[in-house]
Structure 1
């Protein structure tokens, strides 16, 4: 059965599928094969479970490495795997995203033969969407295509997700992993190279509040005008006050909602598309 409308996180699903397929391609052999399948394996009135299967004929994994595949920075130390590079964060991030969505991930692998991953994800069925209304009324869609975003975030997973959301929407992302890096990148940038700054509040070396103050105090031509958006898990009135006092324009609560993030950036950068 085809379900036209499901409730879930398309950003996280795309990130998971992309990570698995990237690995299947990266670690495959010359003239190797990759087989992918999507199947509905369970359904009731409100919920379905989709199984994603990715089977490759690649180099596979040793039994010892299979035990550590979900550990951060884990990589096979011997054999052909070392020539492929990478940070060793792809599978930990994938597992974390799958679990955040309430799903499961498992695999079968044999060294020299190949690997098969199984991912099962639950989705709610949306019974309430009104298709005809969506087709006939004018829709305003926020666009951030071509916007240059300086993204300051010290958490690797949060950075990965935010970067994927922004780049999928057409933005260009410049990454900084603490406030000091963000400040230096901004000070060294030319006018027009950065349109907006997304700044995590809690970061090592220099936090987001301090970095925002230094940006506003700097002698850069656009230092007073460039939008700075705070990102923080704390959404209390006092936190918002501190953000505004530091010279930031807006306060977004974590976990970030992709639509809210894109609309906020589009609002400050003046990009909204109209279509029917």
Structure 2
């Protein structure tokens, strides 16, 4: 069986194009049929030639040449139009020749029994059945009429005619039945797969909605507890408040773990390939982390042969970096963190750009002791096992799947003083690219806007939030720092207010009726393009996962804070974006 499997795989030629499974299957089947028909007809022709029957040898050898050309030339090109149709034309000519003239071997008429299998597998049950019945009708016509009027036509005995007819009908029934069973099995599998996917998607949506609904009131609870904790309290009262606070935080962790469990699979990220500036993309991603932590330093370097712009999936690229940097920020226990990012090109093939990313985080990441063995003494299987443990410890399983989608590997190499992350991403050339060294200065200027520093007490802030109680809580958080706060109940109202007044900063909820925060942010950024201005927008949302943060940044928001949060964290973000 292994030999047969290997033999059949020879007919699946390597293709540069990414083909669908159905296309690959059809191509393989067509190539197998083409090859065996060539062998059969060629043997028939050689036998006729040896018997010096040139009347049969000439046409059969000519048909075998046509099959050989079709197999060797067109069969290797999956996008060649009418490949199956051309093969089927040769099949029809061959079987008509066998039916009318027979052959020197004496078994030629019985080859028509294979026709239903060929027709039905090439064109499906309906078209294949029609073609098979049409050929059978021609065979009967030949038996009854044509053989007496066509010169050199083969005449058959009644027994052979009956046997050939029964054999053809039997072959037709078997071929049609097998194709029907195969189609039903595939349909059942597809239905099961779709139902499973729909069930999983529905369950994930319900869990995600439940998480958001729980996080919002928890945010209000923890916020009020923080404010209440700053008032004069007795020791017992403060202890009670701390207990409530700890319980609320535990509830947040429970919700987060629940959603994480449901999202063990890879969430689909749009595979849209756009032209983008990689240096700018990474620089903006780094800025999210460096601005939130003054003691976290970054170094970003590109090799000179990397073009400034390229085509690829910018969202997935940012998602990978956000996840890795989040993991480093969460587990690196060093007080001063230094992260070096090196990007180099690993190939010089025209059209594609294979980039190798190397992130080195200096400082101690407390991997469990069993991960820290001398890996140089182990074989490759042990190395891969430890890498999997490192990825699991840093909660980077999703990131690994994103990287492996392009056929690349993700490795983590921990040392006592540093941890190195290495992976590759595939991009495509953009014909309007320039050297990255020519655009580094442009990145720093085009991505920033000249804006005078504003003191938080003098700032005019727009709060966009549809829930009244949430509005009151947010105002309570910042009212001691900010004197002027205006409120909009949805994105449409926020746009109207933005067009009539000048705001120094916007606090934007994400999910709102009429117009959500993403759409409102995009509209605001479109308006600002004509005025060459930029108003900082901070997303305030109960959506608390990396893909949620990424979506906020991609839509044009400057920052993101997830509920529940400490009021001081929100104040610090506001001060940062006003300065």
TM-score normalised by length of structure 1: 0.47
Return the structure number with greater helix share.
Answer: 2
Return the structure number with greater strand share.
Answer: 1
Larger Rg: 2
TM-score normalised by length of structure 2: 0.23
